[in-house]
Structure 1
Amino acid sequence: DFNQRLNRLFSGKRGGDGGPFRPDARGIGLTATVVGAIAVLIWLASGAFIVQEGQVGIVTTFGKLSHIARPGFNWHWPAPFQGHETVNTAQVQAAEIGYRANVRNKQPNEALMLTGDQNIVDVQFSVQYKIKDPVAWVFNNRDQAETVRDAAETVVRELVGQNKMDTVLYEGRDKLPIQAREAIQRMTDRYQLGADIIGVTLQSVQPPDQVVAAFEDAGKAQEERARARSEAQAFADDILPQAKGRAARLLQDAEGYRANAVSVATGNAARFDKIVAEYAKAPAITRDRMYIETMQQILSSTSKVMIDARTGTNQIYLPLDRLLAQSTANEAARSAGSGPMMAPPQPQPAQPQAQPQSQPQAQSAQQEAPANGESARTRDLRSRDTSRERESR
């Protein structure tokens, strides 16, 4: 068999006369064929490779792109004819600028940047990206990760140089990652790198270590200003609706007062027009009626004491306590804007005193009372005659 032939081939086989070894030509040819076949199989097997899920294989022929291998078992002609390179297109990779692995491990040459107002800030950030074009990633650039890092550092330095220090540290800090991601994507596309920039994360943005304490005080002042502004805005949001409500209420009250005043004035004007028409028909009657209505209105809201001058009483009794009480109640009712006042109490009949007056005094009182009543009626008649004469003129 095969093993025996190998033993005979390599073992010391001598001739029958004890001469030197003479190999069998047939055995040598068969062995060489077998060894060559095994070597060829091993060489062909070296062209087999497996592409994992989320990866692609770039197969080249003498360094030139041949085809793209998909996930699974693949084979290509072994070297030196063909070769392959596996590219992970699903993994998110990160490029760190200003530090390595930890923010404490600073890289000053990358982190220190100059602002637009000639100040220095320490910026540490990372760029997350994925490979979107594996062919461009493999063939268009030699050191792809370093290219991404250089592009990111260039973009951020340019953005920092376009802004003032306070903008980079405070007001524009949230906008910087967004602007940086867009600019880095444009630059990598211009390089045809085949990378998709997912985002930019600021790890640290601060002044140099030598002036950190001073800038912390400035930051506290900025926070205090923001807090005061927020409180003022909250106060304005609270007081403005109240002021607007009061203004609207005053406008409604004024509108109601205007409508009421116009209505009252219109009513009075209409009533006056009717009175003028009636007065033109019968002036004396209309004047007497107006006088009576006016006196009725006046006397209905005042306290009155009715005295019968024709009766011969010795003494007049006035209920002053009730009159004062009723006057106080009427004043309170008018000030409170209540309804119509109560009618004044009727005076009690005069009560005679225990000791009557003398006869001459009683007779004098009886004579003065009719005289006073007669004089009052005479004055009323004279005033009416005078007014009639004026109207006739």
Structure 2
Amino acid sequence: MAWNEPGGNNQDPWGGRRGNDGPPDLDEVIKKAMDKMGGLFGGKPPAGGRSGSGFGPLAIVILIALFIAAVYDSVNIIDQREQAVVLRLGKYHETWGPGLQWKIPLVDTITKENVTKVQSKSFSNKMLTEDENIVEVSISVQYVISDIKSYVLNVRSPQSSLSQAAESALRHEVGSSEMHFVLTEGRETIASEVQIRIQSYLDAYGTGLTVSKVNLEGAHAPDEVQDAFLDVTKAREDEVRLRNEAETYANGIIPEARGQAQRQLEEANAYKEQVIAKAIGETSRFNQLLVEYKRSPDVTRERLYIDTVQSVLASTPKVLVDVEGGNNMMYLPLDKIVNKQVSNSVAQSSGQNLTASDLDKVTRQVIDEIRQRQSSVRRTRELR
């Protein structure tokens, strides 16, 4: 039954009776509500339809606690290395930098992230190269948060997007290279190209991440073919070593041959100059000798004869002695005499060096031999 229908006793929903003078007083309605809350929190309950005495001590403590909690929740300290994104009722409001910041409780949502820390993410997988070989490659990607708004709002899971972008970029670069290049000298090149490609993917996704470094930590053949791969690697290393040795030998022998050729050219030029100079000197000496020969032919002829004989006999150990008054010449084999005397001296001295006395003996023996031959020639003449 409605409160204003017949039989409702004019009872209004606020606990009072509806008189004929209009609706209940608003102040009275508020007071009754406060009395009920006071009774709920420990105040005196209403008696005989009269209001209670208001809030109790427990209600005051609860209100103070709620106030402190609201103040504490509204204070936010942003560290020097952090930034924060503020969402007000789920919509982007602003970005906070380092310092003391205030938010509206139950209205603002704060997301803080460290934007200076270099984070790292690694993964490894088997991939197919351009020459249809399988290699196992592992990389680590170092990155920082460069745009916190994009990092928080644009992508649901930025780290997952980073992993997928890194794997896609690495597969693209490895699939465009040969196995030998990936495993040996191509590591730095591949890492650089992967970093550029990852960054382009992250920028297209709007992740707010910046890749600072990509390290190709390992690249090797699968375990199933590791032994065969080591043999191939050793053969290639031997090839490189032998090629280097050949190049070193070529680099050494070619300059040496050029030096020898240059030395022979210099010797030939020097010999040429020497022969020309000697010919010029001989020609000049002959011209001067010709002048002297025209002045005194006999003297010059005898002088030429003596010089010629001296030059011929200077290098021979044999001596020819012209005997006066005869047509015979005495022949003295000095080399044989000296060798015989030296052999006797060596035998007597038991291997000691030839001394001055030994030389004197040889000289006296030669002189005695000459005298004996001269005496023999004289006696022969006297007998004739």
Relative to the length of structure 1, the TM-score reads 0.64
Q: CA deviation at 1:151?
A: 0.9
2:155 pairs with 1:141: yes
Task: Check the 8 A contact 2:42/2:56 in 1, yes or no.
Answer: no
2:82 pairs with 1:50: no
2:135 pairs with 1:121: yes
Q: Secondary structure of 1:181's partner? A: helix
Q: Secondary structure of 1:78's partner? A: coil
Q: CA deviation at 1:161?
A: 1.2
Task: Check the 8 A contact 2:41/2:58 in 1, yes or no.
Answer: no
Any idea what the Cα deviations from partners look like across 1:54-91, whole Å, max 9, x if unmatched? 212222334444433233432222232x2221111122
Q: CA deviation at 1:51?
A: 2.0
Task: Check the 8 A contact 1:127/1:200 in 2, yes or no.
Answer: yes
Looking at structure 2, the residues matched to 43 and 8 of structure 1 have their Cα atoms a distance apart, in angstroms, of 23
Looking at structure 1, the residues matched to 181 and 202 of structure 2 have their Cα atoms a distance apart, in angstroms, of 26
Looking at structure 2, the residues matched to 169 and 195 of structure 1 have their Cα atoms a distance apart, in angstroms, of 29
Greater relative contact order, per chain length (Cα 8 Å cut-off, separation 6+) = 1
Q: Superposition pairs for residues 52-91 of structure 1, below 5 Å?
A: 52-80=79-107, 82-91=108-117
Q: CA deviation at 1:261?
A: 4.5
- Seen in structure 2, the aligned counterparts of structure 1 residues 224 and 71 have a Cα distance that, compared at 3 Å, is same
Looking at structure 2, the residues matched to 295 and 318 of structure 1 have their Cα atoms a distance apart, in angstroms, of 15
Further displaced range: 183-192 or 150-159: 183-192
- Seen in structure 2, the aligned counterparts of structure 1 residues 10 and 135 have a Cα distance that, compared at 3 Å, is closer
2:121 pairs with 1:95: yes
Q: Superposition pairs for residues 71-220 of structure 1, below 5 Å?
A: 71-80=98-107, 82-98=108-124, 111-220=125-234
Unaligned stretches of 5+ residues in structure 1: 99-110, 327-344, 367-393
Looking at structure 2, the residues matched to 262 and 52 of structure 1 have their Cα atoms a distance apart, in angstroms, of 91
| Partner AA of 2:100 in structure 1 | F
Looking at structure 2, the residues matched to 8 and 245 of structure 1 have their Cα atoms a distance apart, in angstroms, of 112
Looking at structure 2, the residues matched to 281 and 319 of structure 1 have their Cα atoms a distance apart, in angstroms, of 36
| Partner AA of 2:159 in structure 1 | A
Looking at structure 2, the residues matched to 13 and 88 of structure 1 have their Cα atoms a distance apart, in angstroms, of 55
Task: Check the 8 A contact 2:323/2:330 in 1, yes or no.
Answer: no
- What is the match of residue 295 of structure 1? 309
2:333 pairs with 1:307: no
Looking at structure 2, the residues matched to 75 and 358 of structure 1 have their Cα atoms a distance apart, in angstroms, of 151
Any idea what the Cα deviations from partners look like across 1:1-60, whole Å, max 9, x if unmatched? xxxx97897356686xxxx47433x62599989866764553343121222332122223
Task: Check the 8 A contact 1:319/1:348 in 2, yes or no.
Answer: no
Q: CA deviation at 1:159?
A: 0.7
Q: Secondary structure of 1:137's partner? A: helix
- What is the match of residue 373 of structure 1? none
- What is the match of residue 17 of structure 2? none
2:42 pairs with 1:10: yes
Unaligned stretches of 5+ residues in structure 2: 1-36, 340-362
Looking at structure 2, the residues matched to 180 and 65 of structure 1 have their Cα atoms a distance apart, in angstroms, of 33
Q: CA deviation at 1:306?
A: 1.9
Q: Secondary structure of 1:95's partner? A: strand
Task: Check the 8 A contact 2:87/2:109 in 1, yes or no.
Answer: yes
Q: How many residues align?
A: 318
- What is the match of residue 51 of structure 2? 23
Q: Secondary structure of 2:210's partner? A: strand
Q: How big is the alpha-carbon RMSD for the aligned residues of Structure 1 and Structure 2?
A: 4.3
Q: Secondary structure of 1:135's partner? A: helix
Relative to the length of structure 2, the TM-score reads 0.65
Looking at structure 2, the residues matched to 240 and 177 of structure 1 have their Cα atoms a distance apart, in angstroms, of 35
Looking at structure 1, the residues matched to 308 and 223 of structure 2 have their Cα atoms a distance apart, in angstroms, of 96
Any idea what the Cα deviations from partners look like across 1:248-304, whole Å, max 9, x if unmatched? 367446525632551353143144135336526854746625444333433444443
| Partner AA of 2:117 in structure 1 | Q
Which of the numbers 367, 380, 384 marks the counterpart of 1:348?
367
Q: CA deviation at 1:150?
A: 1.1
| Partner AA of 1:85 in structure 2 | T
- Seen in structure 2, the aligned counterparts of structure 1 residues 45 and 168 have a Cα distance that, compared at 3 Å, is same
Looking at structure 2, the residues matched to 138 and 240 of structure 1 have their Cα atoms a distance apart, in angstroms, of 62
Any idea what the Cα deviations from partners look like across 1:123-146, whole Å, max 9, x if unmatched? 332212111222332233222111
- What is the match of residue 333 of structure 2? 320
Q: CA deviation at 1:307?
A: 2.4
Any idea what the Cα deviations from partners look like across 1:164-206, whole Å, max 9, x if unmatched? 2333234434432232123222332333333221222334433
Task: Check the 8 A contact 1:57/1:68 in 2, yes or no.
Answer: yes
Looking at structure 2, the residues matched to 150 and 63 of structure 1 have their Cα atoms a distance apart, in angstroms, of 28
Percent identity, aligned pairs only? 24
